[in-house]
Structure 1
Amino acid sequence: MNHDLRIDHHSEIPKYRQVVDLLVSDIEAGIFKVGQRIPSINETSGELLISRDTVEKAYVYLRKKGILVSVRGKGYYVGQVNIHKKIKVALVLNKLSNYKRSIYYSLSETLGSKASVDVFIYNYSIGHFDEIVSNQMIHYDYFVILPYFKDDDATGINIIRKIPKKKVLLIDRNLELLKDYPVVYQEYEKDIQTALETGISLIRNYKKINLVFPLNQYYSRNIARGFQIFCQVNQLPFSIIDQLQESDVNKDEAFVLISDDDLYRFIKICRIKNWKPGKDVGLVAYNDNPVKELLEDGITTISTNHDAIGWFAAQMILTGDFKRIKSPFEFIQRNSL
């Protein structure tokens, strides 16, 4: 058995399934060939330091799948090596949100029955991210990672580099120090400029445009930089607001809201003032979802195509054609602007 692979006693994957994965890996690698006897239940139990019952459960599972054949009094033998197992994909996200759910559903749907996708959330924690990578590295064929580590990109990058490079596919962020890795990325600074430029004729109907950009959340600062450049190039009066207050919301001004929490607060303020988005104030939300299509007779959004990110990632995995792809970003006009 491959001595580089060991049972992870802290993993959520049952130990018997880990034994199954180890044996399948050895068979696929040619360590055990058709008709060859594999180590006995007692031998594997002693080598991996786990119970005999756990090993027996794994062997019985593989026998039922036809991968192993048992011979009374002699042990277990390899029955087949042409094992069509599913591709195992770990989707590692900084947090869970509607945007991330869309990526998951698109990735999973595009991969279909050829792969299984498990989701891991590290909540911006370097320690938790390191733990996920260390514990799961041997159990997955690919790691699809959204690399967002607060202010500690360098440590996060070093952790990513611990994973065999052929297993890694990045999404969302284009990190300069990982420019040799495949990625489906957003270009935050240019994306917001291009999208708002599409709606410039509508934006000019307002006296001022405001970006509500919460500094206590982990959005890319390049969004704010791109917004500022857009306003300066087009000679638009603008401001960037950290924490949205009722006094910030003025009639005949347009607002670009990055956070959904700020969006819902903005709508509440408008209702208190009896103002309607698209008439009394302009409203543009960041990252589209079905709810925004329904709220306030339709909220105008600027958004990456979340489904496309998942689709591109899945296609790379299915075809083996790994590359660097810019995710589409668009201005979706509705009634709020």
Structure 2
Amino acid sequence: MTYDLRINHDSEVPKYKQVVEMIISDIEAGIFKKGQRIPSINETSEELLLSRDTVEKAYVHLKKKGVLLSVRGKGYYVNQINVQKEIKVALIFNKLSNYKRSIYYSFVETLGSKAAVDVFIYNYSIDKFEDIIDNQINNYDYFAILPQFNDEDTVVDRVIKKIPREKVLLIDRNLDSLKDYPVVYQEFEKDIQTALGKGISLLKKYTKVNLVFPSNEFYSKNILRGFQIFCQVNALDFSIIDQLDENDVKKKEAYVLVSDDDLYRFVKITKGKGWKLGKDIGVVAYNDNPVKEILEDGITTISTNHYEIGRLAAQMILSKEFKRIKSPFEFVQRNSL
């Protein structure tokens, strides 16, 4: 039996994983029967033009999964024929951050041993994103994509549509140009209005509410629109700040901070002035995390449940029930407001 053409030496998928998939495919096809001895490590390495170590790694992996059974001095035998192939998932992020890590950990935890997840980062670049898709399109069963770009949706739409539709799951952001694709999404414009509405009595303690929204970052403009609508509906004096400066930080005003960098700069400025958060000045931060729970006796946050986003996305893959799900969004009151 000649296998050399079944190993793609140019693929980014490790060769031992390709051997694993090849053997599982042969078992499913009935080429190898239960209890049958498969070719030895040396035989397979010669046929596939691979190193012995690579093939041995594949055989040991299959033994750990219970697919193969080793008999000392005789070799490897098929232990089970009802083999569930490991799902291969490409999880594609714009960048790494605390909340992306939460999505990743819950996504991987929910999939468990049923899937192998590889992470790719495109750093907001549509060209880098397209390179990832072009190079990996045949290597994965599913592509879970967080589509956050500065480019028009139509450009992103074109690249994502290169992938067979049944392999695509969008996460975090709902693209207007891909309304028929499954997604676990935030509804940025409505979410900020609903969340801040839960803290309206606290916000009204302050003379003005400021949104610090850095234009050089890639945050959804729907956050900005939702904030403006919220303030107008509730007759709140407000302003939009691009780059936070010490002169922007004023007593008796409240601040909604999208960026963690701006939050830490804000805390440093207020500490330097000797002001108490929640008394002299108010702050609400985006995206909750354990640091914000303890920083300055607790930072009030508005945040989606990132762990739940990852769990819901993974559950769709496991159940193959693909749909559109809005992620929960919460107002967490602490001492900073």
Instruction: Provide TM-score, normalisation by structure 2.
Output: 0.85
User: 1:181 is aligned with what amino acid?
Assistant: Y
Quickly say closer, same or farther: Cα 1:303–1:335, change in 2 above 3 A.
Answer: same
Identity %: 64
Cα displacement (A) at 1:22? 4.0
Does 2:126 match 1:151? no
Contact 2:244 2:262 in 1 (8 A): yes
The 3-state SS of whatever aligns with 1:314 is helix
- Measured after TM superposition, the shift of residue 31 of structure 1 is 8.1
Change (3 A) 1:315 1:42: closer
Does structure 2 retain, via aligned residues, the 8 Å contact 1:183–1:324? yes
Query: Which residue type is aligned with residue 207 of structure 1?
Result: T
| Pair 1:137 & 2:137 matched | yes
Paired AA for residue 159 in structure 2: I
Residues 126-205 of structure 1: pairs in structure 2 closer than 5 A: 126-205=126-205
**What secondary structure, in the 3-state scheme, does the structure 2 residue paired with 1:336 have?**
coil
1: CA distance, partners of 2:46 / 2:263: 61
Shift of 1:310: 0.9
Distance apart, 1:115 and its partner CA: 2.5
Following superposition, the deviation at residue 130 of structure 1 comes to 2.2
Q: 1:21 to 1:186 in 2, by over 3 A?
A: same
Match of residue 332 from structure 1 = 332
Closer, same or farther in 2 for the Cα pair 1:60/1:335, shift >3 Å? closer
Residue 235 of structure 1: SS of its match in structure 2?
Answer: coil
Structure 2 matches for 1:304-319, cutoff 5 A? 304-319=304-319
What is residue 73 of structure 2 aligned with on the other side? none
Deviation at 1:131, TM superposition (A): 2.6
- Note if 1:222 corresponds to 2:233: no
| 2:116 alignment counterpart | 116
Q: Following superposition of structure 1 onto structure 2, how do residues 1-337 of structure 1 map, counting pairs within 5 Å? A: 7=8, 9=10, 11=12, 13-25=13-25, 27-28=27-28, 30=29, 32=31, 34=33, 45=48, 51=50, 81-337=81-337
Aligned length: 327
The aligned residue for residue 73 of structure 1 is none
Q: Give the Cα separation in 1 of the matches to 2:295 and 2:80.
A: 56
Question: CA–CA distance in 2 between the matches of 1:130 and 1:121?
Answer: 11
CA displacement at 1:91 relative to structure 2: 1.4
RMSD of aligned alpha carbons: 3.1
Distance 1:87 1:27 in 2: 17
Match of 1:220, as an amino acid?
Answer: S
